[in-house]
Structure 1
Amino acid sequence: MLQPIDTDRVIRDGRVSGAYPEEIHEGVAWWVAACFVVVSRAGQMAVAHDDHLVTNGFHRRFCLGAINAEHWGCQVWTLGVANETQLLYAMRELGCVPGALLATADSGTRPTVTIRLYNAHGRPVAEDTGLARVREMIARDRVPLPVNEQAKGRITSCRDLLEGL
């Protein structure tokens, strides 16, 4: 694994979170997304982020990881900048699909990036509902790779879904 992380420290308490760039880096978003697609068996997923400069890179890598997860061909619906309420609404409107919300908080001199994962019912993914499995896959360097180009998913903007909210 290039640029390993302390998975027990970063992937816990219902989220993926760490100080950037010391504890977490953009590659982690790719790993988490690919593993989450496989663990949740997601054919589709909604993804949103805050408007923080650091989060933008994590969001891009997350979406790329989600569309490159083995043979799943996941359709990623990106909402762009949205909050949790908007993400949960979009997840329901898209047919009860899993989702992810990425955000960065400036705490002192180093930003803290957080990725929150949600199941298809809009509930946060917890230890016993997939987070432990995601952590284990990353810790054991078992991040799923794409089988071939035909197995690759797509990233589509669906910002218009949130108009009027």
Structure 2
Amino acid sequence: MGDDAFVYRSRIKTTPRELWAGLTEPAFTQRYWDLSFDTDWRPGSPMTWRERGGSVADPAQRVLEADPPRRLAYTWHTFTPDWAERSGVDGDVLAVIAAEPRSQVAFDLEPAEATVKLTVTHDGFAPGSVVRSMITEGWPELISSLKTLLETGEPLPG
């Protein structure tokens, strides 16, 4: 983990297996993240990101680690013009983020009494990274919605 790493921690009232499913199973990820992953979750396997009626596939989108239900890590997705259009990202921002080095994210799940401590570590950013500034807002919102879904059965609205 470098100095550029973004780390976010949350405690979720669930089990490690339920949280693992929340991070990997399309039925869950679609509900709180509005996307799903097409992969077998084995280290080295490719990942296709499916969201907003489109998909992003790239040989560099890979599962880095998968140790259910303790640790999951993968490379971040490729920024394409189709993805940018579906996501409302303008061309100037796309040019900047597409030129940045590919980052990676890891999820560590640790049982803690009646909860699971989830640590999200997203790193591999260049100094002054625009992607890093984007994910610092995105991860807290996303994990809050995952937490709400697992604890109440419904994700956050919106």
TM-score, structure 2 normalization: 0.37
Q: What TM-score does the superposition give when structure 1 sets the normalisation length? A: 0.35
- Greater Rg over alpha carbons, structure: 2
- Whichever structure has more strand as a proportion of its residues is 2
